[in-house]
Structure 1
Amino acid sequence: MANPDFETGNLAPWSCTGGLGSVVGSPVHTGGKALAGAAGGSDNAQCTQTVSVKPNTAYTLSAWVRGSYVYLGVNGGSSTWTSSPSAYTQLRVSFTTGAGQTSATVYLHGWYGQGTYYADDISFDGPGGPSPSPSPSTSPSPSPSRSPSPSPSPSSSPSPGDVTCPVKGRPAGKVVQGYWENWDGSSNGVHPPFGWTPINDARIRQHGYNVINAAFPVIRSDGTVLWEDGMDSTVKVATPAEMCQAKADGATILMSIGGAAAGIDLSSSTVADRFVETIVPILKRYNFDGIDIDIETGLSGSGSIGQLSASQSNLIRIIDGVLARMPSNFGLTMAPETAYVTGGSVTYGSIWGAYLPIIKKYVDNGRLWWLNMQYYNGSMYGCSGDSYSAGTVQGFVAQTTCLDKGLVIQGTTIRVPYDKQVPGLPAQPGAGGGYMSPSLVSQSWNSFNGQLKGLMTWSVNWDGSKGWTFGDNARSLQGR
């Protein structure tokens, strides 16, 4: 590792987000220099350095730090944190490189709005490995400036014997995205005869679905996330091996968080932190490629688009915490109901438009793959408070166009371009209010001359129960 004690008097080759890192003469742990990271309300002052490593080798990263909250970790690997505002204390994490891995990016950062943190005497060593080599003279691209949750994470390593496969990035072409139900919707009479089916069932891909949202984990009242067989009635989750097989066959798989019946207490930062702490190991063990935010309860706006409510802040805390602990190509989609998005054109506050500042943050910073707004179970809105019935081409076109042009709320413009829109529709009659026949779906899609990224549906299982007409039609519209 180069410049581990900052005695050179400059940051190189460290790279810090927002220009918030500097070298100071006090307070220091030893010597005459230390790193200072001035974390603010919107930036945690993350400083990174990329170092050379050997594959399949154990390494230990340590640093002496002080500050209200200070985090130390390795991108895609282990991390730890402490709160030591008045004295230096040592943080230490160990990790083992993967097969073929030749570099690792280490990071330090503070916490939003908690002020300046300090770091000194950083050490990176690996018994049996090579001597650490300096990183390139040009600063590496910093990892996203989103911090882990402020609570220690359990081990996120896959269990012995688990099959692992790499995270897949954002699909390059058009997508047909469907929710895969981890329960048996046939035995309970909802959509017979097609109930639970393996996530690697070849029929899913054959009928056009190349992005799958696995729905839903159980979320306990304290924020603990469960993803296991029997966590709820008739639930059976896909194994890591089945996930990898589905991905090898062409699927990109996200975990969908929320749903109509799986809420989370967004008023509590403690619950948010517990959520992050417990979901990240699941995402890693089961080889997920991203998360889909489908939280439909507990989120409300403050009434001022420029001032986040507690629930909005904690949802951002969850998203940032997850993204910071996963590889940089890990995906993010959102599937809010229309009231939470275009409903903001009617009024902003409570649920109306509550997703808008969150959508804006992740569209603007490039982390949102696309928006899956639900064009069903309620009215649809244009940019001027105009309202349309669900299940109509007119409503589909009006709100899709509104998002592309930009929805202006209290002087702030929130824009979601066509290539970041994957509108959500019910797959079959009964799957949701506002079902559109294949001919109406075709009219809606063709209104945009192929500019949309794709279409989403609830659900794969509903579609399979009635002949796969949604998936087949959507795939045909996309020329696949």
Structure 2
Amino acid sequence: PGAPDGLRAGATTSSSVALSWHPVGGATGYHVYRDGTKVQSVSGTSATVTGLAPSTSYRFEVTATNAKGESPRSAAVTGTTTAGSGNGPGVPKHAVTGYWQNFNNGATVQKISDVQDQYDIIAVAFADATATRGAVDFTLDPALNYTEERFKSDIAAKQAAGKSVVISVGGERGTVTVNDAASASNFADSVHALMRKYGFNGVDIDLENGIDPTYMTQALRALSAKAGSTLVITMAPQTIDMQSTSAGYFRTALNIKDILTVVNMQYYNSGSMNGCDGKVYSQGSVDFLTALACIQLEGGLAPSQVGLGLPASSRGAGSGYVAPSVVTNALDCLAKGTGCGSFKPARTYPDIRGAMTWSTNWDAANGNAWSKAVGPHVHGLP
């Protein structure tokens, strides 16, 4: 078929651009290209491209297709997203975060489209460090048999359903060095490039080998300046990283409090830790979750920026797995003052954000027991 004409950009939001064009005789479908990459295939003469960064200009082209092949591309048009506001269009008041594994370690292998509906924030694990200090990149694991086009399409579909998808940096084995102005700039530039390429809503900081609060703050503020006010920033520090406001992770979280979405501390693989009352608590109990969350809640983070991170099954972590009922009791204790153990906070935090799990894959391998129990409970908080 011939190339479409009349392509124009219509209504825009902070994360989408609506397109329309004239029909082409003999065409049975159309492909939509964003900045040179095919992002959608449709049968009609309109499409809405989602998963875009706010306050950003994109170049769009369309081709027509039929059984004989694909036409040349149309003349390009530019669409610019709006600035937007808030912590991402897909983050509700009470949210469930789940990590999606870009590898096969014995858990159920999933595509993004397979991620359970209870998850509001999906953290893609993980971006990889590159030879450029501070910079990261992302490549789908070939073992997943997942095309890049399908991956992008699945992300867009989740976002259309009101979810946020972020790229996670770090993990148990991930080391990304951000310790000077140059590496901070490289980090911000590379994460923003991944957001544009795949449609990610933001970034998750899951660095388990130390963090420089000065330059990670600089990096995240630079990213915020590029991505706009709908940027989603999540963190998953270890328990030791949030014991004191002087710790690097805690300082970083406080430094970016105005643009931070949620800190989902890992309440596992940690052993015993101090609670906010100065007493020592062992992992695996309601008290461990509530007394350690209290440190963050009283240390300067807003309740909406605090989430409880737990394994989805006993296979998901070396230690610290608790039954979903322990997670829901801890959330009730913090939000409503009910379901507490021996530790009871001096006040309640009804705006507490919710919970996180490693991982959606281990959850699926365990019959989705975690998300079936914790998801509705989080979404039913006051």
Q: CA deviation at 1:224?
A: 3.4
Structure 2 residue aligned with 1:354: 248
The 1:170–1:370 alpha-carbon spacing in structure 2 relative to 1, beyond 3 Å, is farther
Which SS does the other structure have where 1:239 is aligned?
Answer: helix
Query: How do 1:48-447 residues align onto structure 2 when only pairs under 5 Å count?
Result: 99-100=10-11, 158-163=35-40, 164-165=49-50, 166=52, 168-169=88-89, 171-186=91-106, 191=107, 194-195=108-109, 197-201=110-114, 204-205=116-117, 208-222=118-132, 223-230=134-141, 236=146, 239-299=151-211, 311-342=212-243, 344=244, 348=246, 353-363=247-257, 366-378=258-270, 379-383=272-276, 385-406=278-299, 415-432=300-317, 433-447=319-333
Match of 1:476 among 355, 363, 376: 376
Q: CA deviation at 1:385?
A: 4.6
Contact 1:425 1:436 (8 Å CA) reproduced: yes
Q: CA deviation at 1:296?
A: 1.3
The 1:467–1:102 alpha-carbon spacing in structure 2 relative to 1, beyond 3 Å, is closer
The 1:449–1:357 alpha-carbon spacing in structure 2 relative to 1, beyond 3 Å, is closer
Gaps of 5+ in 2: 1-6, 15-33, 41-48, 54-87, 337-349
Partner Cα separation in structure 1 for residue 36 and residue 116 of structure 2: 28
The 1:184–1:174 alpha-carbon spacing in structure 2 relative to 1, beyond 3 Å, is same
Partner Cα separation in structure 2 for residue 382 and residue 102 of structure 1: 43
Partner Cα separation in structure 2 for residue 247 and residue 101 of structure 1: 15
Which SS does the other structure have where 1:240 is aligned?
Answer: helix
Partner Cα separation in structure 1 for residue 160 and residue 13 of structure 2: 24
Partner Cα separation in structure 1 for residue 13 and residue 303 of structure 2: 38
Letter in 1 for 2:135: T
The 1:216–1:265 alpha-carbon spacing in structure 2 relative to 1, beyond 3 Å, is same
Partner Cα separation in structure 1 for residue 145 and residue 137 of structure 2: 11
1:276-322: per-residue Cα shift (whole Å, max 9, x none)? 222212111211112111111132xxxxxxxxxxx222211221121
Q: CA deviation at 1:403?
A: 2.1
Contact 1:265 1:298 (8 Å CA) reproduced: no
Contact 1:159 1:285 (8 Å CA) reproduced: no
Contact 2:178 2:216 (8 Å CA) reproduced: yes
Which of 1 and 2 has greater Rg? 1
Quote the sequence identity (%): 25
- Greater share of residues in helix: 2
Partner Cα separation in structure 1 for residue 359 and residue 186 of structure 2: 29
Partner Cα separation in structure 2 for residue 479 and residue 330 of structure 1: 22
Q: CA deviation at 1:249?
A: 2.5
Gaps of 5+ in 1: 1-55, 58-97, 104-156, 300-310, 407-414
Which SS does the other structure have where 2:314 is aligned?
Answer: coil
* Matched pairs, number: 293
Letter in 2 for 1:372: N
Q: CA deviation at 1:398?
A: 0.7
Q: TM-score, normalised by structure 1?
A: 0.56
Contact 1:264 1:298 (8 Å CA) reproduced: no
Partner Cα separation in structure 2 for residue 331 and residue 393 of structure 1: 28
The 1:298–1:439 alpha-carbon spacing in structure 2 relative to 1, beyond 3 Å, is closer
Contact 1:396 1:444 (8 Å CA) reproduced: yes
1:425-465: per-residue Cα shift (whole Å, max 9, x none)? 11100212210112222221221235221110010001100
Contact 2:122 2:163 (8 Å CA) reproduced: yes
Q: CA deviation at 1:330?
A: 1.2
Which SS does the other structure have where 2:96 is aligned?
Answer: strand
Partner Cα separation in structure 2 for residue 287 and residue 471 of structure 1: 25
Partner Cα separation in structure 1 for residue 267 and residue 112 of structure 2: 25
1:171-221: per-residue Cα shift (whole Å, max 9, x none)? 2332111001111233xxxx3xx12x11012x511xx21221111111124
Letter in 2 for 1:447: C
Q: TM-score, normalised by structure 2?
A: 0.70
Which SS does the other structure have where 2:335 is aligned?
Answer: coil
CA RMSD of aligned residues (A): 2.6
Which SS does the other structure have where 1:185 is aligned?
Answer: coil
Query: How do 1:37-52 residues align onto structure 2 when only pairs under 5 Å count?
Result: none
Structure 1 residue aligned with 2:56: none
